[in-house]
Structure 1
Amino acid sequence: MFELKGMLSLHAGDRHVGGLDRIELLAAIAETGSISAAARAVGMSYKGAWDAIDAINNLSDEPLVTRATGGRRGGGTQLTARGRQLVEVFREVAVQHERFMQQLGVLGADSLRDLQLMRRFMFRTSARNQFAGTVAAIHAGAVNDTVELTLAGGQRLVATITGESTRALGLAVGREAIALVKASSVLLGVPGPGLKLSARNQLSCVVNGIERGAVNAEVALDLDGGGVMVAVVTNASVDALALAEGQRVVAIVKASSVILGTTD
């Protein structure tokens, strides 16, 4: 016999914001006022908790978590009024959801094929940067289309995809979509009169944190208007650009490196 279990997840319109694990992280932040304490309380790493918070704020219709001065390595962390309301509502819904699942009872073995099929519909992506936005313009070409996506913070992200993909995703002006960008596809530059680039995406941002590894460094960026982007560059590049927290930079992404998706 196969027991039917359901996973409750949270969406803002068509945007997937998170599930129980992220809600519990938000609740722990409300209780402790500390990202490190909240991460320990829910069994996350400090870095994993920050990544979750960045994703939550990027995909939400408005910020759910705010941080005091000190960046990713210091200062306090607290929920906004919207974040506190979200935790309360989610927990109320979770109680009703559990009652509903109990009423559905138990499935027979003949439902196994259907369960396996439904499982194929679920996927996760390894792309570090995930942004919710609204299609602002579509420029059709003979083979490829250029799609302009307005992010929650107001900046635009341009993607080049095939016309077939545009049709398959049902993209149209005003439609919500998710943009995926690998951290390794994000280049960094220092703004100035001599900076001239052919890349369509040149996003203004501020360095929020730098974590060095043996060869590469992970650079967290606060986008103007809201949202966080992560770039992976070499340590040599960090030194050459003299990158430091609080420094204004330009995040550079080729339009062909932006992947678009929809939630239905």
Structure 2
Amino acid sequence: MTPRRPAHAPTPPLADSPEPAGAGQAAGTDLRPAASLSLRSGGQSWGTERRMALLAAIGTEGSISAAARQVGLSYKAAWDAVDMMNSLSGELLVERVTGGKRGGGAHLTGRARALVAWYQAAQAEHRRFMETLSRFGPDGTRHLDLLHSMALQTSARNRYEGVIGAIESGRINDRIRLDLGGAACLTATLTHASTERLGLTEGRRALAFLKAQAVRIRPAGTGATHTPGAPASDPEGANRWTGRIVHLANDGALTEIGLEISPHVRITGLADPDIPGGGLAPGTMAMACFQAADVLIGTAD
């Protein structure tokens, strides 16, 4: 079991779950840690509250489509989640039934019913544990936020956390604007199916990952420049940030450069090989360019 950070998009509760602590209070007034529970088996994290809520809803509704509506998922996202859970479990959790008077449906196997019951018991115990943590002081949520961020490891040098400020939906791809705090923001493109699968909505917290190799650093003034507060990408999908060089390392073949965009936002990339390197020195201003398609978006639940 892993203590989870507060969810910024409400996750539908399980059928017999009590109202979460602090429900109904104004946003930001409840400083107690949220009691959300994820499941991990070995190195694989696969059970989240929303997935378990989907299983529970299938058990009561007898239909994947009806369960999807109950937990706030699209029909396709629910089917994808069921396929994933069936695959991870090594045995069927949800059996689909075709035909019949009702036109078919779905029901939980004995394994799934046992899993849902176990999860509900574990969730109740987890909620009591989080309530105990809240007695240690009002900063529990901030501490869990920091611990959660410190625990996340990825090969991407650039990792950002923010709030989804806008979603421009397309037939195939969506454009996501992630607000990083202050004036900083970035734009990412991902498939519409991924937007639905991740449950991305405006106002929800999300993570962005960007490999340093995908970032090109150029002297300031090379081409169009944008501060992080300006539109985060041009029509061709290129994010352009300007900042001060705070790190520069050269191994003889590549030059790695770190820019400070704001007090809380930094980016690491490589000197653009197509642009002369003159002017790229510590303390000087430079521009970081990266494509929206190179930004990976993730969520913590």
**Structure-2-length-normalised TM-score:** 0.46
**Residue 169 to residue 241, structure 1, CA distance change in 2 (3 Å):** farther
**Residue 185 to residue 172, structure 1, CA distance change in 2 (3 Å):** same
Q: Partners in 2 of 1:226 and 1:207 — Cα distance? A: 14
Q: Partners in 2 of 1:153 and 1:237 — Cα distance? A: 32
Q: Partners in 1 of 2:246 and 2:237 — Cα distance? A: 23
8 Å CA contact 1:179–1:259 kept in 2: the answer is yes
Partner of 2:277: 240
Aligned length: 157
8 Å CA contact 2:157–2:211 kept in 1: the answer is yes
Matched, 1:255 2:292: yes
Q: Partners in 2 of 1:203 and 1:146 — Cα distance? A: 18
Q: Partners in 1 of 2:224 and 2:45 — Cα distance? A: 44
Return the index of the structure with the highest Cα Rg.
Answer: 2
Q: Give the drift of 1:194.
A: 4.7
Is the partner of 2:270 in helix, strand or coil? strand
Is the partner of 2:208 in helix, strand or coil? strand
8 Å CA contact 2:219–2:279 kept in 1: the answer is no
Partner of 1:201: 239
**Residue 250 to residue 194, structure 1, CA distance change in 2 (3 Å):** closer
**Structure-1-length-normalised TM-score:** 0.52
Q: Give the drift of 1:151.
A: 0.8
> For structure 2, which runs of at least 5 residues remain unmatched after alignment?
9-38, 47-151, 226-233
The partner residue of 1:136 within 165, 176, 186 is 165
**Residue 184 to residue 178, structure 1, CA distance change in 2 (3 Å):** same
Identity of counterpart residues, as a percentage?
Answer: 28
Q: Partners in 1 of 2:261 and 2:5 — Cα distance? A: 21
Matched, 1:163 2:220: no
Q: Partners in 2 of 1:226 and 1:241 — Cα distance? A: 27
Residue 201 of structure 1 aligns with an amino acid whose one-letter code is N
**Residue 119 to residue 125, structure 1, CA distance change in 2 (3 Å):** same
Residue 254 of structure 2 aligns with an amino acid whose one-letter code is N
Matched, 1:119 2:156: no
Q: Partners in 2 of 1:208 and 1:250 — Cα distance? A: 13
Residue 120 of structure 1 aligns with an amino acid whose one-letter code is Q
Is the partner of 1:165 in helix, strand or coil? helix
The structure whose residues are more often helix, as a share, is 1
8 Å CA contact 1:209–1:220 kept in 2: the answer is yes
Matched, 1:146 2:175: yes
Residue 258 of structure 2 aligns with an amino acid whose one-letter code is A
Residue 265 of structure 2 aligns with an amino acid whose one-letter code is G
Partner of 1:177: 206
Partner of 2:266: 228
Q: Give the drift of 1:246.
A: 1.2
> For structure 1, which runs of at least 5 residues remain unmatched after alignment?
1-5, 16-113
8 Å CA contact 1:181–1:257 kept in 2: the answer is yes
**Residue 193 to residue 212, structure 1, CA distance change in 2 (3 Å):** closer
Q: Partners in 2 of 1:160 and 1:144 — Cα distance? A: 6
The partner residue of 1:213 within 251, 260, 276 is 251
Q: Partners in 1 of 2:252 and 2:292 — Cα distance? A: 29
Q: Partners in 2 of 1:218 and 1:13 — Cα distance? A: 36
Q: Partners in 2 of 1:127 and 1:241 — Cα distance? A: 27
Q: Give the drift of 1:160.
A: 0.3
